[in-house]
Structure 1
């Protein structure tokens, strides 16, 4: 709930302090002036400014305010330069009252600074009053504790939802957006429903505001869907990163993982037990056992060369044969790598050609469509002279050759594109596997060359020397076993992480399945129906005539805005009826929210609602409708230069509204400062 109790504007000049001081009540408040340049809109703008909502007017900071706040005060023929200016606004939430101060022009004080006095305006000078400085229109001013809109959200006892942003992230539904559905300013606010809504990077901002004000369940469902989308992306990213990390580590040790799922899925204990590592077609545990046996055999050998000469010669021959085989295998794989790279390049070139052909065909289809709207015979594939069919090709036509149309060409080219992209992705995967295989082969070759070198050293060494090859092989075997043990430990740790991600994925799928199957709950549908009924009733009452049958009007289930046969009803409305539609919709939102416990704060501002010479009888109905509303505060700025408007206001029961008369110049000289 928001109620505006009092507004006091102070403009300090060398001739003293000028300003405005007005109080507001529940129900209807009319700020009336004899002329449109008296300062009435300047007074209303101060309310926006103190609340940090000046973006609804069209900008940030003091630049949205009139010159009286920044340049000079006129008093008769005298002009007094403005030295300092600012405004105090007293607001009430149903339980607490605070006073807000924001400067417009003040040396040493930034206009983004807002001071909050936790008291009524009359008491802000008391020493026991809590005073807090806050900021607005700076990063995180709607999130951090010292952000003024964070305070205002808390003060109004509302909880703004996180909604989809234009950058595919989520952001809080800003208060400026919410109040643009309730505060209708004079210059741009009457062009369309919520036309004063600023762009703050929120996707479908009008829709989100209406969902919030009506407290639709679909907003909660959208929040759940956004949360699920975030979880989906997070799990997929973590899963993909984990699999790539595992593959890199495993392949680096010359091993191959088996059973690793490339995308998230629910893994049973059996699935997890089937996640294994192999090396040379043997499971890693078996391979380590083989290495241990080799190590044990080497330990039994006599370490002197003279005792193992024949064995060393045989092993050298076998090692050199293995080196040759590895070199041939590396050469063959490098050839395959080059072949895959060439295939990828060719497919890329073919894709460029096909994409160009698709664009050209789509352009041709568009031109043909434009031609058909002009009713040209050629656009209908018909000769305008002989009425014979024209084909989409210059190739001579024959009865046995079927030529594809442009649309068929587009479908065929798209199918080819999909096929080439699929083939290209396959070649990329093959290329990655070949590259990994080459790295494994090169590492093994390096080890074999090292062994061969040690064996040759043994053959040409003194017979009584200790065998270098035996020692080197034992060291290599020991190092390889240690590396594989580390790999097993690492792999088991990652398997545990994979189990956790699998459980997260299971919970995600469960929550996704639990989402309501219907977009709208029964209560949502009832609220939208009530909104429509109020809207049509208000249109009828306010004299809307542009559409003979108002039952044609509906509330869009996509945007929650009024439409006729799916189109914005503004297109069928006259200028004055468009104003009546804005009155009707803004009031209908308040009525529906009150009736169905929505989130509407219950405050409306209309600056010059009688736009485009609306007849006084309809303005009278507008005022009387507001007077009958419960639990709300409506502030209306009106120019009453003509007698009809004056009579309309005079006809209202004097105890049914609060009339605030603004003289020729709203800002008068104060005798004292704050009272």
Structure 2
């Protein structure tokens, strides 16, 4: 079971007038720390946060989480308000954790040689029972402090008995739920904590719905674990999808410009792998495409034929070379003509693609405008301007007479028009996608024609060289043809080898995708388990019961409930704290945070049964309400620790605490006084 107790707090500051400090023994149950305003009570309370490395709940600068008395100057004379500079200072806290383990942590606020990011842990009660204990240093306030073995929050989580979950962040990475995001449910600091439940929540991790995630963790709700697993699986599916797209794109980029295309290759993750029609790479031939495997068979056969044939000599091959030169020139002319025609088609396709993209952009803008009109109509607006004074098809300006002429014919409503525009967008998106694919295919066909033209030009040059060389010389054209054919075979074999690698990678991604989708399908469809509902029902009963005893007065409590969605107080469907007075908002925070602790004493949760409230009597809450809070906090005081820091009048405080089990530590004057260690 998770556990955290404060057993002893020690503050020390070296100044120009000697050493100042405070020693505050802590107790289980209700612990009340009392001091007059501006006498250092906040210094003591904030020292808990600083020592635990939780200052990001209130500031991004570690030393600034404490008052000036621990980092700059402290008042040494309460009568004259004389100040002395702080030369060095530190905080030590003795803690009790899971399985009654005790440790003492020390963190320096100001020191010439030790940074504030270092935390020293003594494995024993070094404050209440000084002695020789094993020491170990950890770091805090920097990357890795929550995950690495030498990170202080990694150690502290283990000390408490927590295993903080890994959650998907908004940018696709995985981030832990940080300790600073759980402690706003356990620790309310005076300056920033009373603005609402979890008012001190830091958002640096990028985890979405981090407020809800922290409550799920603290209550150990099954829904939190299932939702985290669901989010993890969806994040993994997104990674696989992105990996699939990137792998296919990289292959297509590698073969672009070689006159090759892929046929039947899915561009998005598919778990039905391999498909019934296996994907292939193909090269343009005339107006058709020939698969790479068939093409390589042809090329290898031609290469073997050339290698097995006797190398022709110029005199023996002269007439045949002349015939081949004539045929090559004619074929080169035909290819130039085909290339020119195909280039014109490509330009037309590009123009059509740009036109489709412009049309899509206009349709999307029209849809946005109609959706705005629908929204205004739903809100009750009757005086709506026209969407535009142009034709919705060609967007040319319409005459005024056409715009305002009354007609008995029923026109489409904004909702019907929006639905029609959505259909148009879907149609044009399909047209854009088909046009883009056609353009890519024609571009590669054009690249194939240009490659063939290059081969022909090389062949023509070789034939002319052959015809101009002396008789008996080996045919340059025959040698060139063999070399070019070998190069082409090697290039296509490299493409095929890369294609096989692509198929293997897509098979792996497809198998992982099947596993992820199967795991998603196995997750229970019910969001809340019976165990979760029991905890939330107990929290609701505790919350409502406390509000009654705290004299909650904004409205009747009959419709108050704990939301099964975000686990926060609601009145019907409205955020409770948005509808109530400031003093009742304080009562809501009391009831909710204490309710989290109370149900954790009955059911298994991750709550360490610790609650710290700094100046809980905010917004001039009635004395009767504060007394009821003290009574509630003092109940069953053996199993928890609730720390109240207050500047309440001592006489009034003693009256309210009369008869209640508690420990009161009243500070006379300033918290930091001259000490001799």
- Give the alignment's TM-score, normalised by structure 2: 0.89
Whether the aligned pair in 2 keeps the contact of 1:85 and 1:106 (CA below 8 Å) is yes
Q: 2:617 aligns with which of 588, 600, 610?
A: 610
Tell me if 1:25 matches 2:27.
yes
- Distance between the aligned counterparts of 1:197 and 1:285, measured in 2? 61
Q: CA deviation at 1:59?
A: 4.6
Q: CA deviation at 1:234?
A: 2.0
Q: 1:176 aligns with which of 160, 164, 180?
A: 180
Q: 2:354 aligns with which of 342, 345, 352?
A: 345
Tell me if 1:464 matches 2:468.
no
- Distance between the aligned counterparts of 1:124 and 1:479, measured in 2? 83
Note closer, same or farther for the CA distance 1:124–1:497 as it changes in structure 2 (3 Å cut): farther
Note closer, same or farther for the CA distance 1:408–1:269 as it changes in structure 2 (3 Å cut): closer
Q: CA deviation at 1:418?
A: 4.1
Q: 1:136 aligns with which of 132, 136, 140?
A: 140
Q: 1:91 aligns with which of 81, 89, 95?
A: 95
Question: Which residue pairs with 1:49 in the alignment?
Answer: 50
**Aligned with 2:620: secondary structure?**
coil
**Aligned with 1:102: secondary structure?**
strand
Q: CA deviation at 1:447?
A: 0.9
Residue pairs, 1:417-432, within 5 angstroms: 417-432=425-440
Deviations 1:261-284 (A, max 9, x none): 332223456748x34444445444
Note closer, same or farther for the CA distance 1:613–1:275 as it changes in structure 2 (3 Å cut): closer
Which has the higher mean CA deviation after the structures are superposed, 137-146 or 346-355?
Answer: 346-355
Whether the aligned pair in 2 keeps the contact of 1:60 and 1:137 (CA below 8 Å) is no
Number of equivalenced pairs? 651
Which has the higher mean CA deviation after the structures are superposed, 222-231 or 413-422?
Answer: 413-422
Question: Which residue pairs with 1:209 in the alignment?
Answer: 214
Residue pairs, 1:476-487, within 5 angstroms: 476-487=484-495
Question: Which residue pairs with 1:66 in the alignment?
Answer: 67
Note closer, same or farther for the CA distance 1:294–1:18 as it changes in structure 2 (3 Å cut): closer
Question: Which residue pairs with 1:565 in the alignment?
Answer: 572
- Distance between the aligned counterparts of 1:620 and 1:123, measured in 2? 32
RMSD of the alignment, in Å? 2.8
- Distance between the aligned counterparts of 1:610 and 1:267, measured in 2? 63
Q: 1:186 aligns with which of 185, 190, 205?
A: 190
**Aligned with 1:601: secondary structure?**
coil
- Distance between the aligned counterparts of 1:378 and 1:73, measured in 2? 66
Which has the higher mean CA deviation after the structures are superposed, 141-150 or 394-403?
Answer: 394-403
Note closer, same or farther for the CA distance 1:291–1:49 as it changes in structure 2 (3 Å cut): closer
Q: CA deviation at 1:657?
A: 1.4
Residue pairs, 1:514-533, within 5 angstroms: 514-533=522-541
Question: Which residue pairs with 1:227 in the alignment?
Answer: 232
Note closer, same or farther for the CA distance 1:399–1:284 as it changes in structure 2 (3 Å cut): closer
- Distance between the aligned counterparts of 1:661 and 1:270, measured in 2? 77
**Aligned with 1:345: secondary structure?**
helix
Note closer, same or farther for the CA distance 1:498–1:66 as it changes in structure 2 (3 Å cut): closer
Q: CA deviation at 1:378?
A: 4.2
Note closer, same or farther for the CA distance 1:123–1:333 as it changes in structure 2 (3 Å cut): farther
Which has the higher mean CA deviation after the structures are superposed, 554-563 or 236-245?
Answer: 236-245
Which has the higher mean CA deviation after the structures are superposed, 602-611 or 478-487?
Answer: 478-487
- Distance between the aligned counterparts of 1:250 and 1:192, measured in 2? 59
Note closer, same or farther for the CA distance 1:360–1:513 as it changes in structure 2 (3 Å cut): closer
Deviations 1:364-388 (A, max 9, x none): 5666666x46xxx64699xxxxxxx
Residue pairs, 1:284-303, within 5 angstroms: 284-298=292-306, 299-301=308-310, 303=312
Q: CA deviation at 1:10?
A: 0.7
Residue pairs, 1:273-288, within 5 angstroms: 274-279=278-283, 280=285, 281-288=289-296
Question: Which residue pairs with 1:328 in the alignment?
Answer: 337
- Distance between the aligned counterparts of 1:166 and 1:247, measured in 2? 30
- Distance between the aligned counterparts of 1:245 and 1:168, measured in 2? 21
- Distance between the aligned counterparts of 1:415 and 1:283, measured in 2? 37
Q: CA deviation at 1:623?
A: 1.8
Q: CA deviation at 1:88?
A: 0.9
**Aligned with 1:121: secondary structure?**
coil
Whether the aligned pair in 2 keeps the contact of 1:640 and 1:646 (CA below 8 Å) is no
**Aligned with 2:121: secondary structure?**
strand
**Aligned with 2:30: secondary structure?**
strand
- Give the alignment's TM-score, normalised by structure 1: 0.89
- Distance between the aligned counterparts of 1:344 and 1:258, measured in 2? 21
Q: CA deviation at 1:551?
A: 2.9
Deviations 1:24-71 (A, max 9, x none): 1111111123x2222222211111111112233445322232222221
Whether the aligned pair in 2 keeps the contact of 1:302 and 1:308 (CA below 8 Å) is no
Q: Specify every segment of 5 or more residues in structure 2 that has no aligned partner in the other structure, as ranges.
A: 387-399
Note closer, same or farther for the CA distance 1:197–1:88 as it changes in structure 2 (3 Å cut): same
Question: Which residue pairs with 1:237 in the alignment?
Answer: 242
Q: CA deviation at 1:307?
A: 1.8
Note closer, same or farther for the CA distance 1:144–1:259 as it changes in structure 2 (3 Å cut): same
Note closer, same or farther for the CA distance 1:238–1:193 as it changes in structure 2 (3 Å cut): closer
Tell me if 1:198 matches 2:194.
no
Residue pairs, 1:299-378, within 5 angstroms: 299-301=308-310, 303-361=312-370, 372=380, 378=383
Whether the aligned pair in 1 keeps the contact of 2:612 and 2:644 (CA below 8 Å) is yes
Tell me if 1:473 matches 2:481.
yes
Deviations 1:222-275 (A, max 9, x none): 221222122212222222233234444556654444432332223456748x34
Whether the aligned pair in 1 keeps the contact of 2:259 and 2:444 (CA below 8 Å) is no
Whether the aligned pair in 1 keeps the contact of 2:95 and 2:102 (CA below 8 Å) is yes
Whether the aligned pair in 2 keeps the contact of 1:250 and 1:257 (CA below 8 Å) is no
Which has the higher mean CA deviation after the structures are superposed, 352-361 or 323-332?
Answer: 352-361
Note closer, same or farther for the CA distance 1:286–1:606 as it changes in structure 2 (3 Å cut): closer
Deviations 1:311-343 (A, max 9, x none): 222222222222122212221221122112222
Whether the aligned pair in 2 keeps the contact of 1:165 and 1:202 (CA below 8 Å) is yes
Deviations 1:120-151 (A, max 9, x none): 2248975x533223222223322233322222
- Distance between the aligned counterparts of 2:170 and 2:298, measured in 1? 59
Q: CA deviation at 1:450?
A: 0.7
Which has the higher mean CA deviation after the structures are superposed, 72-81 or 633-642?
Answer: 72-81
- Distance between the aligned counterparts of 1:417 and 1:309, measured in 2? 64
Note closer, same or farther for the CA distance 1:292–1:350 as it changes in structure 2 (3 Å cut): closer
Whether the aligned pair in 2 keeps the contact of 1:306 and 1:464 (CA below 8 Å) is yes
Q: CA deviation at 1:402?
A: 4.2
Whether the aligned pair in 1 keeps the contact of 2:94 and 2:127 (CA below 8 Å) is no
Residue pairs, 1:80-119, within 5 angstroms: 80-93=84-97, 94-119=99-124
Tell me if 1:555 matches 2:558.
no
Q: CA deviation at 1:545?
A: 2.8
Whether the aligned pair in 2 keeps the contact of 1:50 and 1:100 (CA below 8 Å) is yes
- Distance between the aligned counterparts of 2:258 and 2:582, measured in 1? 76
Question: Which residue pairs with 2:554 in the alignment?
Answer: 546
Deviations 1:65-119 (A, max 9, x none): 2222221223232433322222111111133222111222323333222222222
Question: Which residue pairs with 1:385 in the alignment?
Answer: none
